[in-house]
Amino acid sequence: MKSMEVIPGIHLLSSFLGAGVWGANVYLLEDNDLTLVDTGFIGRSGQILRKVADLGYAPSDITRIIITHYHADHIGSLAMLKKVTQAKVLAHPADAPYINGRLPEPGAAGPKWLGRSFTHFRRLWSAIATSVDVLVNEGDELPVLGGIKILHTPGHTCGSISLFCPSRRLIIVGDVIAHRFGLRLPSKTFTEDIAQEISSVRRIASLDFDVVCFGHGSPLRHGARNKVSDFARGLSLPS
């Protein structure tokens, strides 16, 4: 699958193993240097770097890797990509301990059988602990594409972040919202706080954007703000 240019300067490096079902989307941001957003499951580094090469770049052109949250389908190939590119890894301080291995990843919410299945699944697809070089917080701005603002959008994980690029009228939301057969919340099984999650969706809906990029599912490029606003209005906090 060829990479998709979402808008000039932002590429979806395709999604792996079933259009993101088994691995998260990976985005490449082009500026004076390159920024990766998320890394897919373990074992995807070669595919990612081939996509980067297809666009005319070398691994060393990647100077930063931003992680939207610590789940294995987003950080699986981080260790290898960091080793090959020597890029700096950026993440929120609440998720950094899970990325660098200082804290074990929490188990799945739900019945015991699901927890056992999750544990087995995690062993198969576990990520290698990787140091986080730069902690990013709410309100930080990165010198990429005219300024990318870090938004702390917790709920799916305690340190989930979204990347808002006002100059391009685009937001990358990680797993705060999924786009599969319409807009959806992420699985409750893998979401730490559903009330926070809904609050984060409502916050995103209040922003001014034209394009939304998701961790799972294709980017939304037509009527994105209205669709996200309608989706947010239909959500209700758990009683």
Residue pLDDT, tens place only, 64-88 = 999 999 999 999 999 999 999 999 9
Express as a percent the part of the chain with pLDDT over 90: 79
Residue 113, judged by CB atoms within 10 A of its CB (0-12, 13-18, 19+), counts as exposed
Q: How far apart are CA 207 and CA 179, in angstroms?
A: 18
CA-to-CA dists, residue 71 to 9, 157, 175, 210, 223, angstroms: 26, 8, 10, 27, 29
Assigned CATH for 4-233: 3.60.15.10
Q: Out of 21-30, 100-109, 137-146, 172-181, pick the least confident.
A: 100-109
- Tell me what pLDDT residue 186 has: 92
pLDDT, tens only, 140-174: 999 999 999 999 999 999 999 999 999 999 999 99
- Tell me what pLDDT residue 16 has: 47
pLDDT tier for residue 239 given thresholds of 50, 70 and 90: low
The domain ranges of the chain are: 4-233
- Tell me what pLDDT residue 107 has: 55
Provide DSSP, 135-201.
E--TT-EESSTT-EEEEE--SSSTT-EEEEEGGGTEEE-TTSSEESSSEEPPPGGG-S-HHHHHHHH
User: What's the mean pLDDT when you consider all of the chain?
Assistant: 89
The C-alpha torsion from 175 through 134 and 119 to 201, rounded to 10°, is -20
Asked whether residue 17 carries a pLDDT value surpassing 50, the answer given is no
Q: How far apart are CA 235 and CA 239, in angstroms?
A: 12
Q: How far apart are CA 191 and CA 108, in angstroms?
A: 8
Q: How far apart are CA 135 and CA 51, in angstroms?
A: 27
Of residues 58 and 1, the one with the higher pLDDT is: 58
Can you say how many angstroms the Cα of residue 143 is from the centroid of all Cα atoms in its chain?
19
Of residues 190 and 225, the one with the higher pLDDT is: 225
Planar angle of CA 184, 144, 63, nearest 5 degrees: 100
Q: How far apart are CA 235 and CA 83, in angstroms?
A: 41
Q: What one-letter code names the amino acid at 125?
A: W
pLDDT, tens only, 91-133: 999 999 999 999 987 754 444 444 444 454 555 557 889 999 9
- Tell me what pLDDT residue 114 has: 45
pTM assigned to the model: 0.91
Q: Helix (H, G, I), strand (E, B), or coil: what is residue 104?
A: coil
Taking residues 192-215, report their average pLDDT. Answer: 97
Q: How far apart are CA 224 and CA 214, in angstroms?
A: 12
- Tell me what pLDDT residue 108 has: 47
Q: How far apart are CA 95 and CA 171, in angstroms?
A: 20
- Quote the tokens at residue 180: 């599969």
